[in-house]
């Protein structure tokens, strides 16, 4: 049985849950967890710089992210439209079956 120490990065969520980046290679059982905050991205990080550039261009163009309310409203609208389309398709299918039945008689 291995009693060694394993170091794995993870994310601590506001609710206190911890999500590890990978599965630890340790036997099941109680463990001690030591945590220390990892530094943020370096100021010259190329990925962050690219994202910041995108955000700046969108902001200058007057494009702002949709609010939660706007997204939820659109989601409900799409759900309702889909339901209507499914009901219409079912009605059409029933009509076709009825016509097909009439033709056979």
Residue range 31-53, pLDDT digits in tens: 888 888 887 767 788 888 898 89
Q: CA–CA distance from 80 to each of 11, 61, 68, 97 (Å)?
A: 37, 32, 18, 26
pLDDT digits (tens, 9 = 90+) for 47-78: 888 988 999 999 999 998 889 999 999 999 99
Tell me what pLDDT residue 43 has. 72
- What is the tens place of the pLDDT at every residue in 3-20? 578 888 898 888 999 999
pLDDT at 3: 59
């Amino acid at each position: 049985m291995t009693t060694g120490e394993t170091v794995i990065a993870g994310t601590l969520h506001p609710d206190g849950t911890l999500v590890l980046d990978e599965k630890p290679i340790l036997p099941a059982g109680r463990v001690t967890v030591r945590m220390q905050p990892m530094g943020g991205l370096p100021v010259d990080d190329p990925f962050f710089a690219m994202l910041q550039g995108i955000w700046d261009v969108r902001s200058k163009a007057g494009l702002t992210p949709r609010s939660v309310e706007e997204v939820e409203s659109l989601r409900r609208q799409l759900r309702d439209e889909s339901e209507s389309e499914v009901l219409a398709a079912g009605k059409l299918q029933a009509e076709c079956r009825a016509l097909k039945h009439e033709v056979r008689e």
